[in-house]
Amino acid sequence: MLGLPNWKAKYDPKGLTPHPRDAPTRKRPSIVSVPLPHQPATATTLVVASSSAVYTLANTSPTASMASTGSVMLATSSAQLEMDSGAVKKNTTLICAPVMAGTVKEMVTQLDEAKSSGAELVEIRLDSLKNFSPHEDLKTLIKASALPTLFTYRPKWEGGQYDGDDKSRLDTLRLAMELGADYVDVELQVAFEFNASIQGSKPEKCKVIVSSHNYENTPSIEDLGNLVARIQAAGADIVKIATTALDITDVARMFHITVHSQVSSVPVIGIVMGERGLISRVLCAKFGGFLTFGTLESGAVSAPGQPTIKDLLDLYNFRSIGPDTKVFGIIGKPVGHSKSPLLYNQAFKSAGFNGVFLHLLVDDVASFLQTYSSTDFAGFSCTIPHKEAAVKCCDEVDPVAKSIGAVNCIIRRQSDAKLFGYNTDYVGAISAIEDGLRDSHNGSSAGASPLNGKLFVVIGAGGAGKALAYGAKEKGARVVIANRTYDRARELAETIGGDALSLADLENFQPEDGMVLANTTSIGMQPKIDETPIPKHALKHYSLVFDAVYTPKMTRLLREAEECGATIVSGMEMFIGQAYGQYERFTGLPAPKELFRKIMSKY
């Protein structure tokens, strides 16, 4: 099935897979059998039954064999749980806070912080301690924790800090079990030996997590399946696999394994490390992962790519994510700076809309959209550098977006999973620029657009540049494209009926006063906030300057333009304006314009 090995036949000839003793406070999802077309081992296909329909996450070759069929048991909606606040928790995935410090005293402080932050479990990283007296310190830590404890004593050969002998290390973990630990983490390499040593003496309450860490890549589905089987055969109560994302599509294989492993009710912690693996840490709540890790503060991570607990709970609404939750996100590179998840997730929560919006660091937009082809991956914002490439990925493109040659919004139709591309950039930006011109002329708004007849200089010939050039031309402006690569500027200028020049020549381009300047590049965006696309002295010829960059809100370009007497329009205005149309396409609901402005007024 799915090109996976017969795990039981290969690793447990009698079919006696070790029984996973799940945590007593958690209810496992119910199980349903669904028919599944056979796929070759090179394909990545995930089928999960939600309460409404069976959906598929697939990356399959057009020539993939579909000759034989099989059946696989997969998880459906889990029971909803009551949270401390009285709200409904839609998943059983625990939030675990890594506790790492040089002293036990510092750890005790972090244990208190973990409880107040909303964690449900703490991972105490013994390998981070500078001085350690096992018996005394373990007692102190267990007594001090108001949350269930997971003890990890990670050796250097598995990515940790412990550099001593394994016998002492494993003795310490056995002692932690005797003293009342709820979980211990043991590496696969030593798990057989460890579990053999506790046979017949293991405390009933303590569960053994057997873990494997791959800091190089994410293996194939077949290799991951074999790994799960080896971990189970080692006596694991809970399977933990952490791999590294070289591409965001790698995460699909971990989702597949997480869901498939629930066939035998094996709790799985499936984490894909790195920024490209962020979705594994959030969507594990959707796909049935046992736990996810959230840090107490930004940067204090025990593995690459960990979000903070605050982000999990407040930014991504983690406890509201369930099997039926629709997935949205912003596709870009870079993408971590984007405020889109903040905006949309708060709006989703306010409207009671069952969706989550994520940062999606994507290298190849076509590959991403092909891999995550389920209708549960329902819509995407698209930013630099993928707006133009995304056009070719869509089954249909809105006429305006087609004229522009770029899309910033992709919707997956629920009835047939076809992709539809739109462009809302030009509306948000042009409206903001028009408002800025009207305000600078005492609000006069009669008749034609204030852009009519204006010389409108666009910096950049990418997706956003195309959108603004198109929008300005539609309003009657005379458009000039300035770009680092002159040929690209000329190509866009010829398409929309304008003029072109290289960015290097823009400094001396001053045919008239009162021009409008629009920067659509990433120049000046965090972290390179000291950069600007044009020298300050050249800005005196512009009556209005717009910058699509909104992190920071006041860029160097805008600050210097204002000092030169120009009206300035922040990229935040474009960001909010384009978000109206996207939100309505994502949800089918009217955009909460006042809420959007209230949210973004803080930034």
Helix (H, G, I), strand (E, B) or coil at 320: helix
Both tokens assigned to 578:
């384009």
**Helix 425-440 and helix 571-587, axial crossing angle in degrees, nearest 10:** 140
218 and 244 Cβ atoms separated by less than 8 Å: yes
Q: Can you spell out the DSSP letters for 273-310? A: ESGGGHHHHHHHHHHT-SEEE-BSSTT--SSTTPPBHH
Both tokens assigned to 200:
């017949």
At 347, give phi and psi (nearest 5°). -70, -40
- Which residue, 138, 143, 587, 578, is CA-closest to 328? 587
DSSP secondary structure letter of residue 312: I
- Which residue, 87, 237, 223, 266, is CA-closest to 150? 237
Catalytic site residues? 213, 240, 387, 425
81 and 283 Cβ atoms separated by less than 8 Å: no
In sequence order, the 6+-apart residues with CB closer than 8 A to the CB of 133 are none
**Helix 571-587 and helix 340-351, axial crossing angle in degrees, nearest 10:** 40
Distance CA 306, CA 200 (A): 36
Both tokens assigned to 347:
């709006």
- Range 196-205 contact pairs with CB under 8 angstroms and sequence separation of 24 or more: 197/170, 198/174, 202/177, 203/177, 203/178, 205/180
Residue 94 host element (H or E): strand 94-99
207 and 237 Cβ atoms separated by less than 8 Å: yes
42 and 60 Cβ atoms separated by less than 8 Å: no
Distance CA 170, CA 191 (A): 10
Distance CA 16, CA 38 (A): 25
Distance CA 191, CA 197 (A): 10
Distance CA 162, CA 186 (A): 13
**Which residues pair with residue 380 across a beta bridge?**
329, 410
